[in-house]
Structure formats: structure tokens, C-alpha cells
Amino acid sequence: MTDPHDASTHALLQPGQAAPDFTLPATPDQRLSLSDLRGAPVILAFYPADWSPVCGDQMGLYNEMLPEFHRSGAQLVGISTDGVWCHAAFAEARKLHFPLLADFEPKGEVARRYGAYRAQDGVAERALFVIDAEGVIRWSYLSPLGLNPGADGILDALDALVPTPKPPVSNAPASDTLASNIHGAQA
């Protein structure tokens, strides 16, 4: 077994470890820190590149899953080594309603700290982390690069978090994503 604390081994960070804080550009003029999201669960989804050409696209799927993630109070953040303008175009084209962070300079530094960098290709791995409200990793998963890992592992991990008080059903996720999404219309 490799020591997950030794960054040189590139081992994926494991449950129980503190999630390393970071600050990355979310848009050309805004930055987001992991610590900004403290107080609620966070899903970190590292992925190799924007513009995956299929309907099975992982970020597109997670975009559709946002109401389910929000039901657990969780925030989703995507991270790749693409730059902010690339992310902006991708997010607009795919109508993504969650932040994509640019792990662009120094390239892949955050991915490396999470053991989720693929040095031979210069991209982030397809790696998932569920971090609890206190900033501790509660679940992590490294997917084969070519295989969309889906959302089931994330949903299971969120279910397994110690339940936090849930918002009343009636005003559950107050997100603009719901307006156009079937999940808002279940009354």
C-alpha cells in the first residue's frame, strides 16, 4: 500500500483525511476557495477535460443531478486543468449550473494535492471526493479515465453523511436550475 500522505506517490486522498484547502479561478474575475464552502457537504469532481463529445458526458450528467445533490445540502464543484475561458464557454454551451474551477496555473497543482493528477497526460484524473461540512473527506473514488463513473457513488456517500437538518421540502433547493428541471415539479 502506498502512503496517501506522500504526495509523490500520487495516491488518491482517502476518507478520514482533511480536504486540502485551495483557491482557484471560477470565472475570469472570480476565485473560489474550498473553505468558502465549509458548513455544507462538497462534491469535488476532478475530470480530464471540457468538451467531452457525448451525451454521457459526466459534467452534463451531474448538472442534471444537481437537485438530488442539493437535497443533501451538497454543493458540486468541477475541476479540470482547462483555463477559465474554456470553462466559461463549456459551461455556457452545456448550461451548467455549478462552478468549474481552473486548475490551470500552476497546472494541476490542486489535482496533485488530491492524488488526482495524471502526469503522463497532463490532465486531472476522473476522481470524485465527497467532503463533509467540517472539511473532512468522507468518500473518494478514482474512475477509469474513459468511464463516466455516474452519480450513484456520490449519492450513496451523501446518504451516509451524518444527517444534517434538511430544509423543508417546499423550499428545497432554491436554485435556478430547478426552473427548467423536472425535479421542481413533483408536487
Partner 1 sequence: MTRRLPPVSATDKVAGPADAPVTLIEYGDYECPYCGEAYPVLKAVQEAMGARLRFVFRNFPLTEMHAHALRAAQFTEAAAASGVFWAAHDMLYEHQDALDVASLTSYAAQLGIERRVLQAAFQGRYDAIIQQDFVGGARAGVNGTPCLFINGVRYDGPRDRQSLIEVLDRAAATAEIDVPA
| Cell output for 114 | 488530491
* Residue 149 identity: P
Active-site residue (options: 55, 174, 179, 185): 55
Q: Which range touches partner 1 (CB under 8 A), out of 2-10, 61-69, 110-118, 127-135?
A: 61-69
Distance CA 102, CA 81 (A): 6
Which DSSP string corresponds to 8-24? Answer: GGTPPP-TTSBPPP-EE
Q: Which range touches partner 1 (CB under 8 A), out of 15-23, 43-51, 81-89, 152-160?
A: 152-160
Q: Which of 94, 107, 112, 113 binds partner 1 (CB under 8 A)?
A: 94
Distance CA 1, CA 8 (A): 14
For position 150 contacting partner 1 by CB under 8 A, the verdict is yes
Which DSSP string corresponds to 118-182? Answer: ETTTTEE-EEEEEE-TTSBEEEEEEE-TTS---SHHHHHHHHHSPPPPPPPGGG----GGGGGSG
User: Could you give the string, one character per residue 167-186, with x where binding to partner 1 holds by CB under 8 A and - elsewhere?
Assistant: ----------x--xxxx-xx
Closer to partner 1 by Cβ: residue 112 or 183: 183
DSSP classification of residue 6: -
User: Closest separation between CB of residue 96 and partner 1, Å?
Assistant: 8
Q: Is 55 tagged catalytic?
A: yes
Distance CA 68, CA 186 (A): 13
Q: Which of 57, 83, 133, 145 binds partner 1 (CB under 8 A)?
A: 57
User: Closest separation between CB of residue 148 and partner 1, Å?
Assistant: 4
Q: Which range touches partner 1 (CB under 8 A), out of 2-10, 36-44, 60-68, 112-120?
A: 60-68
Among all residues, which ones are annotated catalytic?
55
Which residues contact partner 1 (rule: CB under 8 A)? 54-58, 60-61, 63-65, 68, 94-97, 147-153, 155-156, 177, 180-183, 185-187
